Amino acid sequence: MQTQADRILYPVPASWKFLHSGKVREIYQVSKNELAIVASDRVSAFDWILPDAISDKGKILCQISRFWFGKTQTICANHWLESQESSLPKDVWARTMLARKAEVYPFEFIVRGYLAGSIWKAYQKNNGELQIGDCKLEKGLKFGGPIPGGPILTPTTKEKTPGKHDEDVPWSEVDNSLGSVKAGIVREAALKIFTFAHDYLEKRDLVMVDTKMEFGELENGAIVLVDELLTPDSSRFWWKKDYDARDQKDSIEPLDKQVIRNYLEKDLRWDKKPPVPRLSSDVISKARSVYIEAFRAITGKDPIL
């Protein structure tokens, strides 16, 4: 398993102060209230950092987040400091986002529009009934179908221990932690952003299945979107043609990092415990192609690599 000592630190201005290395990003302090978030090419899956990187992944995801932060800033303010980035060298800009410093809330906010992924597995395991967060799914639903009354917002904890999974929590826990007013603002913003992205991508022949968002609070109390937004690492996308042809199948080839999860879980039958396995060269190549394909599908452009 890759450790912090093994991680590549990408070139940044000498004046930036290194603060923290996360699963896939490095954080630097640029000024008192300004951070630099450097997206690495590392890959995490099932809450573990994999030994192999995907070339240019960080650049692709950073630029997708910029795209969505720009598109959604009228729905909810975000931490991105777009105007400050013009002076960055091109190679630094490609994978680095300058951001306002925020106190990040201790939850991940998962918005789900379709029955897929972990909730589909849980739904099957529970014989066609499932209580997830504050939402109860009744019997008779099919894989890939729209969640009745959805989309739904299902908050989770944010676990920092390697290999420990985030846990679903009821909305009341978010209310108690943030206060009902702030929790309400987050709920409304997350659902509106998901709906906006879903409608936007539908015109690009994509299905926005589910996504993870994070929110935080600035020094002045303003609530902002943080971290990444609507990327192939934080979201599930399907091509509409594949979705329309799903029939009775219980899987659809996704346009996200599920290709890596499938390899680990289905091909290698990894038990999600150390040692963390290596990726094959074919999977690394396929994953990189999927990230680039997703970028083009979402933005209509090529990433700057």
DSSP secondary structure string for all residues of 67-98? HHHHHHTTTS-BSB-GGGGGGS-HHHHTTEEE
Quick one: 122 and 96 in the same domain? no
Question: pLDDT (tens digit, 9 = 90+) per residue, 129-158?
Answer: 788 767 788 888 889 999 988 899 999 998
Q: Is 278 inside any structural domain?
A: no
Instruction: For the beta carbon of residue 103, count every other beta carbon within 10 angstroms.
Output: 11
Q: 1 pLDDT band (50/70/90 cuts)?
A: very low
Q: Are residues 54 and 197 in the same domain?
A: no
CATH code of residue 178:
3.30.470.20
d(CA 68, CA 82): 12
Query: What would the pLDDT profile of 71-83 be if each residue is shown by its tens digit?
Result: 999 999 999 999 9
Question: Is 301 part of a structural domain of the chain?
Answer: no
pLDDT tens digits for range 208-225: 999 999 999 999 999 999
pTM of the shown model: 0.93
91/144 same-domain check: no
Residues 160 and 254 in one domain: yes
- 216 DSSP β-pair partners: 104, 224
Q: Say yes or no to pLDDT of 202 above 60.
A: yes
User: Residues of the chain with pLDDT > 90: what percent?
Assistant: 79
Q: What is the pLDDT of residue 3?
A: 41
274 close to 232: Cβ distance less than 8 angstroms? no
Greater model confidence, 35 or 248: 35
Highest mean pLDDT among 118-132, 234-248, 268-282: 268-282
Q: Are 209 and 236 in contact (CB under 8 A)?
A: yes
- Encode pLDDT of 4-30 as tens digits: 434 667 999 999 999 999 899 999 999
Q: H-helix or E-strand containing 120?
A: helix 117-125
pLDDT, averaged across the chain: 92
Q: How far is CA 58 from CA 65, 66, 149, 259, 302, in A?
A: 11, 12, 35, 17, 14
Give the separation between CA 166 and CA 160, rounded to whole angstroms.
9
Number of domain units in the chain: 2
Query: pLDDT (tens digit, 9 = 90+) per residue, 153-191?
Result: 999 998 776 656 788 899 999 999 999 999 999 999 999
Q: Which domain holds residue 180?
A: 104-217+234-271
